[in-house]
Amino acid sequence: MAAQRKRFALLIGFLLLAALLSACLGQNEYTFQLETGDTLKISGENGYTLSGEIPFTLSKDETPCLTGSFVSRDGYEQYEEIILEENGVLTLLERGAREDCDYLFYHSESEGGYGILLAPKGSASGVLLESTLSEQEVRDAFSALRFSLP
């Protein structure tokens, strides 16, 4: 009986430690309920972790790489128009599509950083990602993000 209690206490201790570690280290996937009515699942791959707050943060090795917020379809279209204006403040670097989203990758002259405006496939919402890291670090972080509608 005493041996069973010790094993049970040890098991509980390991479970608590695992829960504490996962809370400290972040998770690789979160599902967000958006104001547009969409439910959007975002996951990080290749060692990147997400925070579950809004705005969310994608990090690697505890270093924040991207900060993301959500916009409506109207908000997406307004941001898209500003990015495509070629006004000298924002410079479009790439317009592309992946299996999970269409996106605009741009450089902000005034902020000295990079941004990605994206439209997850099948969603009525958009996502705005921003970072002050290097272009390559932002591209690497973006390539580790996945978007889906559950």
In tens, the pLDDT along 20-41 reads 333 334 578 999 999 989 999 9
Q: Does residue 6 carry a pLDDT above 90? A: no
Q: How far is it, in rounded angstroms, from Cα 150 to Cα 147?
A: 10
pLDDT computed for residue 27 by the predictor:
72
At 37 the three-state DSSP class reads coil
Burial environment of residue 12 by CB neighbours within 10 A (0 to 12, 13 to 18, 19 or more): exposed
Report the mean per-residue pLDDT for the chain. Answer: 84
In tens, the pLDDT along 93-119 reads 999 999 999 999 999 988 889 999 999
Q: Does residue 17 carry a pLDDT above 80? A: no
Among the four given CATH numbers 1.10.3470, 3.30.499, 1.10.1160, 3.40.1000, the one describing domain 26-148 = 3.40.1000
Lowest mean pLDDT among 13-27, 62-76, 107-121, 129-143: 13-27
Q: What is the mean pLDDT of residues 114-125?
A: 96
Lowest mean pLDDT among 18-32, 36-50, 75-89, 122-136: 18-32
Burial environment of residue 3 by CB neighbours within 10 A (0 to 12, 13 to 18, 19 or more): exposed
Side chain identity, residue 18: A
Whether pTM exceeds 0.85: no
Q: What is the mean pLDDT of residues 80-84?
A: 93
pLDDT computed for residue 88 by the predictor:
82
Domain ranges of the chain: 26-148
Q: Count of alpha carbons within 13 Å of 77, Cβ hemisphere only?
A: 4
